Amino acid sequence: MTALTEQAAHVLLSLYERGQASPVETTQELLSRIEQLNPALNAFCLVDEESALASARESESRWLAWRKHRLTGSSANRPRALEGIPVSIKDLILTRDWPTLRGSKTIDPHQAWTVDAPVTARLREAGAVLIGKTTTPEFGCKGETNSPLTGITKNPWDLQKTPGGSSGGAAAAVAAGLGPLAVGTDGAGSVRIPAAFCGNVGFKPSYGRVPAYPLSPFGSVAHVGPHSMSVVDCALAMNVMKQPDARDWTALPPDASDYLMGLHDGVAGLRVAYSPRLGYVKHLDPAIESALEACALSLEAMGACVESIDPGIEDSLDISFGLWVAGAASLWRGLSEAQREVTDPDFRSEAMSGLDISLKQVHDFNHRRGVLGSTLRQFMTDFDLILTPSTAICAFAIRQAGTAGDYDAQTMLGWTPYSFPFNLSQQPAISFPWSLSPDGLPIGVQLVGPMFGDALVLRAARALETIRPVQRPRMPQHQK
């Protein structure tokens, strides 16, 4: 049998149900693999073996009791939705008993850590085995994962390439078989960029679908979503993550639907807007453009109605960058001089840009954001999905924090023009790995749905998965 560390979460649940694997066995194998590979990848900044094994033993007891009752014909509560499934949490998200340092030297790790964020709480309640925290750039400030606190995180497909960011640790961990599920956040592409660069599935739900607390300092562009190596696992995770939490006053009304229902219904009859450049993207890797065309043809062959059309939006790079750095400036104002001295120069550059933004500019950005959102809402009345690349380039070379020069809009987001518009509009979007570049790096395609159309996006991605299963990287020999 394939190693347990390479099994999808839904497959592990099936194995546990039949008694062919156990949560303890899975967790032990996973911890051993993390010990072997994490020094090279730097995907995890915290691993709690003792807590993970204790949680796994509790899950194993539940599965044993359930199987025993089933054999004797007596009734017993079925184990919980993610019983015994290893999950990692991005180090921007609060976890009880573990420090949440947000990739920053400015945060004191020796304070009381007594609160779980909503997503962490829901995962615990569902029986997930929490393994540890994954790396992030400082405050999640960029689309690559490096920081003065945790150093450089690397891509499992090529250790000289970035995994993207800011959920780079989460994506690298899942792609490398260091856990089937990981939780990330996405404020301008931070789930989808690393999913594209690392060749896994990354889902940004509709804003507010997964409750958050505390809310992001970067405002209402920030979503919480899963990473996985399977669309089925993504739906499985979302069923848990979307459960309500009263602490998030911006959350959507509770959604009791099961995202696994209808997941395999295919794309026949769906109206897909095929937009390789969104009407304004000038620079796109030819290999990515070719891959997207092949994906469009595949959707058409499966019965979707694919039309080449742009959604009629303007390039919103300045809007996204302006609102983002205004949030960075707000964080900066709350730091002491001593804290400012130890920040990432890239974050500092963003904050300095934000300090120059006036209230009138913020108002204007939000007005233009409203126009963009309205345009896309109207466009989606004629289409079920938009198909775009996930990013305009494949993974680029790793670099130390602070070596990119002036962290202006182009440096920060110019190479990922397909991600941030859909943070501004708050629509659900998924990055699905479609193929490899001539250099052997993953190429991701993006499916964007209408607001609240989360289940539809997952369904379409699952249709792609049936014809193009997700590939795992061949780990470099010196890591093994």
* Residue pLDDT tens, the chain, 480 long: 579 999 999 999 999 999 999 999 999 999 999 999 999 999 999 999 999 999 999 999 999 999 998 887 766 788 999 999 999 999 999 999 999 999 999 999 999 999 999 999 999 999 999 999 999 999 999 999 999 999 999 999 999 999 999 999 999 999 999 999 999 999 999 999 999 999 999 999 999 999 999 999 999 999 999 999 999 999 999 999 999 999 999 999 999 999 999 999 999 999 999 999 999 999 999 999 999 999 999 999 999 999 999 999 999 999 999 999 999 999 999 999 999 999 999 999 999 999 999 999 999 999 999 999 999 999 999 999 999 999 999 999 999 999 998 899 999 999 999 999 999 999 999 999 999 999 999 999 999 999 999 999 999 999 999 999 999 998 754 444
β partners of residue 447: 387, 430
**Rg of the Cα atoms in the chain:** 21
| Beta strand ranges found along 362-428 (DSSP E) | 385-389
Reported as half-sphere exposure (CB side, CA atoms, 13 A), residue 267 has a value of 32
Closest C-alpha among 19, 10, 433 to residue 181: 10
CA–CA distance, 314 with 465 (Å, rounded to integer): 31
CA–CA distance, 423 with 84 (Å, rounded to integer): 32
User: Which residues are tagged catalytic?
Assistant: 90, 166, 190
Angle between helices 317-333 and 359-379 (to 10 degrees): 140
Three-state DSSP at 129 gives strand
Three-state DSSP at 323 gives helix
18-29: burial string, b at 16+ Cβ within 10 Å, e else: eeebbbbbbbbb
The predicted pLDDT at position 477 comes to 43
Closest C-alpha among 160, 140, 158, 159 to residue 150: 140
The predicted pLDDT at position 75 comes to 65
CA–CA distance, 175 with 199 (Å, rounded to integer): 7
- 406 Cβ contact partners less than 8 Å away, ≥ 6 residues apart: 349
Both tokens assigned to 414: 């110019």
Closest C-alpha among 476, 371, 480, 478 to residue 157: 476
The predicted pLDDT at position 171 comes to 98
CA–CA distance, 205 with 242 (Å, rounded to integer): 9
| pTM given for the model | 0.97
Both tokens assigned to 327: 């949030």
CA–CA distance, 80 with 101 (Å, rounded to integer): 30
Burial of 468: CB neighbours in 10 Å, binned 0-12, 13-18, 19+: middle
Taking CA atoms, 315 is separated from 79, 234, 287, 319, in Å, by 48, 30, 23, 9
**Residue at 469: amino acid letter:** P
Tokens 């065309």 locate to 293
The predicted pLDDT at position 476 comes to 54
Q: Is 233 left (phi over 0), alpha (psi -120 to 50) or beta?
A: alpha
- 48 Cβ contact partners less than 8 Å away, ≥ 6 residues apart: 98, 130, 131, 132
The predicted pLDDT at position 71 comes to 80
Q: How many other C-beta atoms are found inside a 10 Å radius of the C-beta of residue 289? A: 15
- 413 Cβ contact partners less than 8 Å away, ≥ 6 residues apart: 143, 188, 189, 317, 320, 321, 419, 420
